[in-house]
Amino acid sequence: AAPRPAHGCGSGALLGRFGVLLQALLALCAFSTLMLKRFKEPKAERRPWRIWFYDTSKQAIGALFIHFANVFLSDLTEEDPCSLYLINFILDATLGMLLIWLGVKVVSWVVQHKKYTYLVFGEYGDPPQAAAWIGQCILYLLIMVFEKTVISLVLLIPGWTKLQQMLLGYIPSPQLELVLVMFVVPFIVNAIMFWVVDSLIMRKYKQKDTLDINGSTETPRARRTEESQVLLSPDMDFDQSESDQDVSGPRGTNQKMKQPSYQVVI
């Protein structure tokens, strides 16, 4: 086997004790952005905890698959695994993000065309069904497999070795390189990706809470106000009609008109 370059992290560094610690810290910090996003949502549109878990767990499964696939692919060659992981990650955050968006759009169109209601991203039924969540997790994982396959084929194009040497070749410390590759850069990019993808896969859930009437969209609060007005309108009409019947006589004196419910015949 060809010797590894003097710079960069060595073989097995991504799965070493320090590398695993950085990955656990990355997962904790990255998924905390999804928690922050939930509290940033308007209270009228904020998802219940169960719906939020169903939405975000799909991303968690997909992100774990992509992460461990990158770790596995980065340690297959004799080159610097840290820089190779960084290249994989950058491609996932750019070209991969486009592929995920395209995959979600295509899958959403297919399931809507086939009228598979529970497979529409963000729709879990009322009450929410775990079977719908499992089906959507499988679909999202298939999108991740498609994305990672395309990225792996792109990495087979010659010329990535020079970019790999340029990315982290100036960093003398392997531990500093590991911190940058496994925590700093992934945290910033993952926070943005999680925020965007969560908005994408929860969009159908938000649209479910709106009602399109005569081309206008009403929020649930406006719809409840409209319903309350409709419920109150019969009483208002009754009061109006009763007041009209109470007014009689040439001078407008109030006299209540009582109709007997029965008659006594002698």
pTM of the model: 0.66
Q: What is the pLDDT of residue 148?
A: 93
CB of 164 closer than 8 Å to CB of 176: no
Q: What is the pLDDT of residue 18?
A: 86
Q: What is the pLDDT of residue 228?
A: 47
d(CA 100, CA 146): 9
Q: What is the pLDDT of residue 261?
A: 52
CB of 83 closer than 8 Å to CB of 8: yes
d(CA 260, CA 203): 60
Q: What is the pLDDT of residue 203?
A: 53
Give the pLDDT confidence of 165-186 residue by residue, as tens digits.
Answer: 677 767 777 788 888 888 888 8
d(CA 180, CA 184): 5
Give the pLDDT confidence of 88-98 residue by residue, as tens digits.
Answer: 888 988 899 89
Q: What is the pLDDT of residue 210?
A: 41
Closest CA to 122 of 58, 202, 187: 202
Main-chain phi, psi angles of 197, to 5 degrees: -65, -35
Burial (Cβ within 10 Å: 0-12, 13-18, ≥19) of residue 195 = middle
- Residue numbers of the chain with a pLDDT score lower than 70: 1-8, 10-11, 161, 164-165, 169, 203-266
